[in-house]
Amino acid sequence: MTFEEIYKTYWQKIFRLCLGYVNDFDWAKDIAQETFIIVWQQLPKFRNESAIGTWIFRIATNNCLRQIEKDKRTPKTALPDDLKEEQQVSIEPQIRFLYQCIAELPETDRIIISLELEDVKQAEIASITGLSEANIRVKIHRIKEKLSQKFKTHVHEQ
């Protein structure tokens, strides 16, 4: 598989994974872009020991974690309110709320549900996260329950 094919196949999935992780459209785009730079640099070293998708998701996951850690150490500067509002317009309110809920989950749960939303097989999620498949199944069920509850509460508040 060429880099171009990999990019076309995985760009949207990796972007959505990053978006689920950081809940910020531009930051997710940057992290996804950085992920593909790493993939491009490391592709000659890829030895087919796992599926290429598993390998790319693992790189993206590690990249998200690294970026979040870096962000925690960097002082924040706020954008003017009118700019913040403009940024959010392109995402449907329900989708925005979903990503907001996902962003509030613990880090491991965030990555698991983001991979699940991308239809990554549970065996691959287990490989990416280092957890057992049984544990992944239980965690996915619990995460979906939490998110469903948040949605129900949100709908009733509207």
Domain hosting 12: range is: 3-157
* Measured distance CA(80)–CA(27) in Å, rounded: 17
**pLDDT > 90? residue 138:** yes
Looking at the structure of the chain, the number of domains it has is 1
Give the pLDDT band of residue 20 (cuts 50, 70, 90): confident
* Measured distance CA(44)–CA(70) in Å, rounded: 28
* Measured distance CA(142)–CA(101) in Å, rounded: 14
pLDDT at site 158: 65
End-to-end CA, the chain: 47
CATH number at residue 27: 1.20.140
**126-135 residue pLDDT tens:** 988 889 999 9
Give the number of other Cβ atoms within 10 Å of residue 53's Cβ. Answer: 18
pTM comes to: 0.63
* Measured distance CA(113)–CA(23) in Å, rounded: 13
User: What is the radius of gyration, based on Cα positions, of the chain?
Assistant: 16
**87-136 residue pLDDT tens:** 444 557 777 788 888 888 888 898 899 889 888 899 999 988 889 999 99
Give the number of other Cβ atoms within 10 Å of residue 146's Cβ. Answer: 16
Q: Are 8 and 14 in contact (CB under 8 A)?
A: no
